[in-house]
């Protein structure tokens, strides 16, 4: 006897969202206790970094987890399990200079670079990638990923004579949260 599965019509999906200008990046110089539920007040008080980071050369992502290849005698050969998480992060930061004294950095504009310029500086990058635009303030329920970082020595671009002045800061990620939700 053959059983015919019930056919359910597809429901209409909402329109797809164009990804450009939908990533909000906030830097927190103080590492919160719970990465999975950072408060809106803490997030909105952080350094808004979306316009301080160049699209090219800036990366925050989870990479493939390490694998554990220790099958039990009863398991098929080659059985694998996910092990430790791995991450990759680099901040390509625009530099901002004081218009009245161009030999000095602008305190507000250059805040992100100042927070990471010394090797070993720590903090958390929190990234919201949703249908909201980058300039919408954080709100309860916003999904995010968070990356606890320590900075390495920064460098100038390969060709510092092209484009805007930037500093590339390699980041070492010691912890991260893939599925954080902002709390009230």
pTM recorded for the entire structure: 0.86
Report domain extents, the chain.
23-62+87-181
Q: Is residue 8 pLDDT above 60, yes or no? A: no
Residues 6+ apart with CB under 8 A from 125: 25, 26, 27, 28, 49, 60, 89, 91, 146, 147, 149, 171
Percent of the chain with pLDDT strictly greater than 90: 72
Residues 6+ apart with CB under 8 A from 95: 105, 110, 113, 164, 165, 166, 167
Pinpoint the alpha helices (H) of 27-141: 40-45, 111-116
User: pLDDT at position 26, please?
Assistant: 98
In degrees, rounded to 5, the angle at the alpha carbon of residue 151 between the alpha carbons of residues 63 and 116 is: 125
Contact of 166 with 157, CB cutoff 8 Å: yes
Contact of 121 with 151, CB cutoff 8 Å: yes
Question: Cβ of 36: how many Cβ atoms within 10 Å?
Answer: 13
pLDDT band per the 50, 70, 90 thresholds, residue 100: very high
* Distance, CA of 60 to CA of 48 (rounded, Å): 16
User: pLDDT at position 6, please?
Assistant: 67
Mean pLDDT of the residues in the chain: 91
Per-residue pLDDT averaged across 152-181, rounded?
Answer: 93
Q: Is residue 1 pLDDT above 80, yes or no? A: no
């Amino acid at each position: 006897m053959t059983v015919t599965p019930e056919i359910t019509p597809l429901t209409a999906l909402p329109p797809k969202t164009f990804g450009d200008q939908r990533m909000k990046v906030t830097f927190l110089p103080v590492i919160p206790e719970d990465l999975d539920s950072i408060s809106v007040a803490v997030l909105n008080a952080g350094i808004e970094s979306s316009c301080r980071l160049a699209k090219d050369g800036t990366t925050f992502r989870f990479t493939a987890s390490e694998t554990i290849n220790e099958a039990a005698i009863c398991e098929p050969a080659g059985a694998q399990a996910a092990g430790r998480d791995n991450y990759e992060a680099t901040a390509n930061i625009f530099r901002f200079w004081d218009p009245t004294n161009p030999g000095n950095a602008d305190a507000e504009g250059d805040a992100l670079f100042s927070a990471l310029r010394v090797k070993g500086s720590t903090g958390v990058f929190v990234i919201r990638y949703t249908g909201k635009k980058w300039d919408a303030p954080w709100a309860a329920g916003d999904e995010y990923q968070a990356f606890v970082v320590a900075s390495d020595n920064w460098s100038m671009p390969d060709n510092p004579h092209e484009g805007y002045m930037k500093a590339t800061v390699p980041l070492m990620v010691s912890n991260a949260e893939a599925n954080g939700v902002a709390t009230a």
